[in-house]
Amino acid sequence: MEIRQWRRAALAQLSAGESPKRDVEVLLAHVTGKSRSWLIAFDETVLTPEQLEQLSALVARRASGEPVAWLTGEREFWSLPLLVSRDTLIPRPDTELLVEVALAHLPQNGPTVLDLGTGTGAVALAIASERPDAQVTGVDCIAGAVGLAQNNAQRLALANVRFFQSDWFSAIGEARYTLIVSNPPYIDEADEHLCQGDVRFEPISALVAGDHGLADIKKISARAADYLLPGGWLMFEHGWQQAEQVRAILRSHHFVQVETCQDYGGNDRVTFAQLSE
């Protein structure tokens, strides 16, 4: 079967999904080892029986709802190819806004950054890749996530980032940072979206927080001042309806310069604030 023929059949099988065309292209590239442009230019190429068998199994798993990133074992974030696993959330494009805001608030010389709940290491690694002069630390309470983030750092040859296991600040010690960044669990346990899309397959502990999704944001905000340098910044990714509450939480802990940024869909997504000097 030619690539073009297989593509049409696969698109029909995945037509009920959110992004069938993208899914098909990603799976084709994964199995064949060819770029998207090559697959388009040479779509009359005949797929081997082994490739067809592998693709058939992957499409069936995707049709059942399994995330494409788990099928390929990889997801791109900030143009960095990251390994993913069932221990962590799959990095989302919206989270790149958190990286943008963090980079915009780092001083020129030698900043130190702490990423709480690092998961795959996506945010920490993106910041480290853009700021080789920064010393970046990522922590997660899940040992498997820490190992995954360490593997990603090694694959990307980023020497200015380290990862270790910690339940938020529990293993941080007396270190203080220029900036603390976090994409914590922030979904209410009653949220209907937990039964839809890729999140059905992802670890619930990385998605859901008590107190209507605000429990972890409150925990971090209450202790962050003890781990920030004077004038340091604290910033969160959060749900699109939580911005006003997150701003109130930060102000209640005496943070100033409290602001919210919108994601690429026009939704409130990142709120940040400064520790008064």
133 and 97 in a common domain: yes
51 and 109 in a common domain: no
What does the pLDDT look like over 194-234, one tens digit per residue? Answer: 445 555 555 555 555 565 678 899 999 999 999 999 999 99
38 and 90 in a common domain: no
What does the pLDDT look like over 125-138, one tens digit per residue? Answer: 999 999 999 999 99
37 and 164 in a common domain: no
- Looking up residue 58, the CATH number of its domain turns out to be 1.10.8.10
Q: What pLDDT is attached to residue 231?
A: 94
SS (HEC) of 71-101:
HHCEEEECCEEEECCCCCCCCCHHHHHHHHH
167 and 97 in a common domain: yes
User: Which regions of 145-267 does DSSP assign to beta strands (E)?
Assistant: 161-165, 177-182, 228-237, 255-262
Asked if the structure places residue 227 within a domain, the reply is: yes
229 and 143 in a common domain: yes
Token digits of residue 46: 């005949």
Distances (CA, A) of 72 to 32, 61, 112, 220: 12, 11, 33, 33
Domain boundary among 29, 64, 99: 64
What does the pLDDT look like over 244-254, one tens digit per residue? Answer: 999 999 999 98
Asked if the structure places residue 144 within a domain, the reply is: yes
Asked if the structure places residue 77 within a domain, the reply is: no
* 127 or 186, greater pLDDT: 127
Asked if the structure places residue 75 within a domain, the reply is: no
- Looking up residue 98, the CATH number of its domain turns out to be 3.40.50.150
- For 91: left if phi > 0, alpha if psi spans -120 to 50, otherwise beta; the answer is beta
Answer for the pair 140, 168: CB distance below 8 angstroms, yes or no: no
Number of compact structural domains in the chain: 2
150 and 92 in a common domain: yes
Asked if the structure places residue 81 within a domain, the reply is: no
Q: What pLDDT is attached to residue 196?
A: 54
225 and 124 in a common domain: yes
Q: What pLDDT is attached to residue 135?
A: 97
260 and 138 in a common domain: yes
User: DSSP code of 120?
Assistant: T
142 and 20 in a common domain: no
Q: CB-based burial of residue 190 (10 Å sphere; 0-12 exposed, 13-18 middle, 19+ buried)? A: exposed
Do strands 112-116 and 177-182 pair parallel, antiparallel, or not at all (unpaired)? Answer: parallel
Q: What pLDDT is attached to residue 198?
A: 58
Asked if the structure places residue 80 within a domain, the reply is: no
117 and 206 in a common domain: yes
Element containing residue 32 per DSSP (H, E): helix 20-32
Q: What is the pTM of this model?
A: 0.87
105 and 59 in a common domain: no
Q: What pLDDT is attached to residue 173?
A: 93
| Residue 67 three-state SS | coil
> Which residue range(s) make up the domain with 21?
3-64
What does the pLDDT look like over 24-57, one tens digit per residue? Answer: 999 999 999 988 889 888 889 999 989 999 999 9
Nearest to 256 by CA among 220, 237, 231: 231
Asked if the structure places residue 239 within a domain, the reply is: yes
Asked if the structure places residue 26 within a domain, the reply is: yes
